[in-house]
Structures are given as C-alpha cells and as structure tokens.
Structure 1
Amino acid sequence: MAYSDQKMSGGKVGALVIVALIHVALGYAFITGLATNFVKKQVEKLNTFDVEEPPPPPPEEPPPPPPDTPMTPPPVVSPPPIVQNPNPPPVTVATVPTPPPVYVQTPTVAPPAPPAPPAPPAPPAVSKAAGLKGNPGQFFGADNYPPSAIRAEEQGRVVAKLTVGTDGRVTDCVVTTSSNSSALDQATCRIAKSRVRFSPAQDATGNPIVSSYTLPVRWVLPQN
C-alpha cells in the first residue's frame, strides 16, 4: 500500500471517532432535556393538586344526670347475746416459794491462848569451869583420820561446842565452824563423845554441874 493510502485511512478513522463523540453528546443532551421537562411537569401537577380536609365530627351531647335516690340509713346490728359458762374453770392462785432463811454466821471468838510455860530455872552460877583431862589432841591425829577424807585429800579446822555432864563426859556436840568436810566434822563429834574427858564444873558450893566447852580441832593430812 502506498503512503497516500495509509494517510487516507488514518484520516477516516479520526473522522469516524469525531462523529461518534458528537452523536453521544447529542444523545446525552436529548435524554437530559427530556428528563428535566418530565420532572418539571410532575412538580407542576403536584403543586396544583388541592387536598380537601374532612369536616369535623358533630359534638357529643352530655349524658343526662342520674335520678335522685333517697338516702337510706344503715341497718342496726344488735350485739350477740352474752352466754355465761355455768361451769367456770377454777381460779388458780400462783404461790411464790418462800426463800430459805438466811443464817448469819457470827464470828467465833478464839479461845484465849494458854498461859506461857514457866521459864526454866536459871543455870547455877559456875564457880569452877570444866577442865580437860590429858591432851585431847592425841585423839585427832593420823591414827583417827577418816579414810574417806584421806582419799578426798580433805583437811581443815573444826570448832565444836561440847556439853559436859556432871561426870565429866561429853553428852552433846554441835559443830559451830565447819571444815567443809562432813567426814571431818562427824569424826570430831564422835571422838569427843567417846574419848575426851573433863573434870566437871562446880557451883559456888562445890557441887558438880552441867556446863559447856568450846573445842577447836585442826585436821591435817598425815604425811606418807
């Protein structure tokens, strides 16, 4: 195909497109104009239509007043007759128990205390004190040392208060100062009662009397 033919076919296509657009625009305008006229005519018809309101209903007549009825008094109701019981129940009287009598205990008076016993007679005055016979230290040496005190290595000083009878023998022994060893304390009193002797004390007339004597004893562990 020659160049002139190609140019002619291109021009025809453009002309066809322009014609189609013109037809579309005319159709749109025609449709839009018809729709606008139709809407205007419908609106005019609606504006010119008048609606008549219905007439109001006739007023209702009020009902006639009720006839007057005479006021009748209420019937008189008589009270029921009182019927008495020929056999009334017995009347019970509540008895209040009598409280027991209250006994008030009077405090008893303590009997008087018995009279104090008479004081013992005063000991006779000592004219001559009791004296030791011999040397009592010989009885508290190594030969009479308690074995238990030797094993425990106990030693110390004991002071005993002796009661000397009228015959010069020791009748009682009380440890006043302990050696902190029960074996040594007991041995002191045992030996004093069995071996220590005294010349008894005498009163003013020379008669023997009971007296006391303080005996100190020092226990020393025997040397081996």
Structure 2
Amino acid sequence: MAYADRDTTGSRMVAIVVVAIILAAVGYAFVTGLAYQYVKKAAEDLNVIEIEEPPPPPPEEPPPPPPDQPMTPPPVVAPPPIVRTPTPPPPIATVQTPPPVYIPTPVVAPPAPPAPPAPPAPPRVSQAAKAKGNPGQYFGPDAYPPAAQRAGAQGRVVARLTIGTDGRVSDCSITTGSGNSDLDSTTCRIARSRVRFTPAKDEAGNAITSTYTLPVRWVLPED
C-alpha cells in the first residue's frame, strides 16, 4: 500500500506543475492581447478627436490722451557720429641710389699767344755816322751849368745818341753819369741842339738811322 501511495503523490505534483505552466501561458497571452486592444482603441480615439483652438482676443485700443495735455513728439536722437579711421598709405619702397660721381673737368691751359713777328733785321751799315767838326767845342767853359759850377761838380759823362737820316740827334740817353744831374742833363741838351752828324749809310748808299757814343769830360773852368 505504501508503494502505491508514493506513486500517486508524484503524479499529482507533475500534473499540478503542468497545469500551472499552462495557466501562466494562457494568462500572459490574455493580458498581452487585451493590452494591445486598449492601446489600439486609444490611438483611434486620438486620431478622431479634433481640438479647436479658441479665437485670439481682440486687440486692446490705447487709451485716449487727456484733453488738456498736448502730445509731445518723441525726442530726436541724433545718430552716433561715424568715425572713419583713415587707412594708412602703403609703405613706399625707397630705392637707395648711389651718390653721384663727380669727374673733375681737366683744366686745359689756353694756347699761348703767337709770338710777335720778329723785327726786321737792321740794315747793314756800310758807313757809320760822323760828327761834323769837333763836338768838344760845344762843351767849353761857357756851356758849364752854373748850378754845377757853384756846387763844384765835375766829371765824365757818356751819352748814347740816336742819329736820324737828316744827321740830327733824335734821342739821347746817359749810359755813364757824372754824379751831378745838371752836368748829365746839359750834355743831352747840347747834343740835341748843337751837335750835327753825317748820317750813316747802308750798302746801297742810302742814309739810315744809327747810334753814336759821345763821351764828354766836364772840368771846372779856372778863374
């Protein structure tokens, strides 16, 4: 008996577990399907119902101004001044130029003036000038300058005379002086005024200008 009871109890437990599993599966399916129907119904209701928005309220009119208070225009606000920042000019590229090279101009000496033409050669003297008479006779005591005589001056004078083609003395210069100007000047004065010559002649016999040396010795006259 005891063995039979043991088998009956085990079969019942198995049957209970199987029934519980079946009931859980049926309940899950029922709950899932019912929920799906409710969700679908709610979605259909939402698609059908249209909610209308209420109309906007009319705009409120501004209250009229008081009759005694004049309307003042809004203050005029000047726009802010426009500040323009000047754009700096682009930098100017400076090109460094080399300093100028100064080449000195050569100084050219002016050409020398042409030499003056050579004077014509003096004519060849074939006959020298000769004094007419004795020139010493014109330098005697009566021709002695009084100032030189009072000063006690005496001495030798040598004069260079220029004889013209007419035989007269055209020029006189003292080459050796006596030391007294009165004696020297008197020698030339007498030679120009009183001494006469035969002019010199060239090879053709023509009278030419020449020179003549005249020595004179002045001696104080005796009282």
* TM interval, short-chain normalised: 0.5 to 0.7
Q: Give, in angstroms, the shift of residue 222 of structure 1.
A: 1.1
Q: 1:158 to 1:106 in 2, by over 3 A?
A: same
Shift of 1:106: 2.9
1:171-190 map, 5 Å:
171-190=170-189
Q: What does residue 11 of structure 2 align with?
A: none
* 1:218 alignment partner in structure 2: 217
User: 2: CA distance between counterparts of 1:103 and 1:220?
Assistant: 78
Q: Call closer, same or farther: CA 1:126–1:103 in 2, change over 3 Å.
A: same
**What is the deviation of 1:105?**
5.2
Write out aligned runs for 1:1-224 (5 A): 106-224=105-223
Deviates more, 1:136-145 or 1:199-208: 136-145
Specify the SS of the correspondent of 2:126: coil
SS at match of 1:173: strand
Distance 1:103 1:139, change over 3 A: farther
Give the CA RMSD over aligned residues: 3.0
* Overall identity of the aligned pairs, in %: 72
Q: Over residues 41-91 of structure 1, what are the superposed CA-to-partner deviations in whole Å (9 max), with x where a residue is unaligned? A: xxxxxxxxxxxxxxxxxxxxxxxxxxxxxxxxxxxxxxxxxxxxxx9xx9x
TM-score (norm 2): 0.54
CA distance in 2, matches of 1:135, 1:219: 15
Q: Counterparts of 1:192 and 1:145 in 2: how far apart (Å)?
A: 14
Q: Which runs of 4+ in 1 moved over 6 A?
A: 100-104
Q: 1:185 to 1:101 in 2, by over 3 A?
A: farther
From the CA coordinates, give the structure whose radius of gyration is larger: 2
Counterpart of 1:120 in 2: which secondary structure? coil
Distance 1:144 1:107, change over 3 A: farther
Q: Which amino acid aligns with 1:149?
A: A
Residues of 2 paired with 1:194 and 1:103: CA distance?
Answer: 72
For structure 1, list consecutive stretches of 5 or more residues without a partner in the other structure. 1-86, 91-99
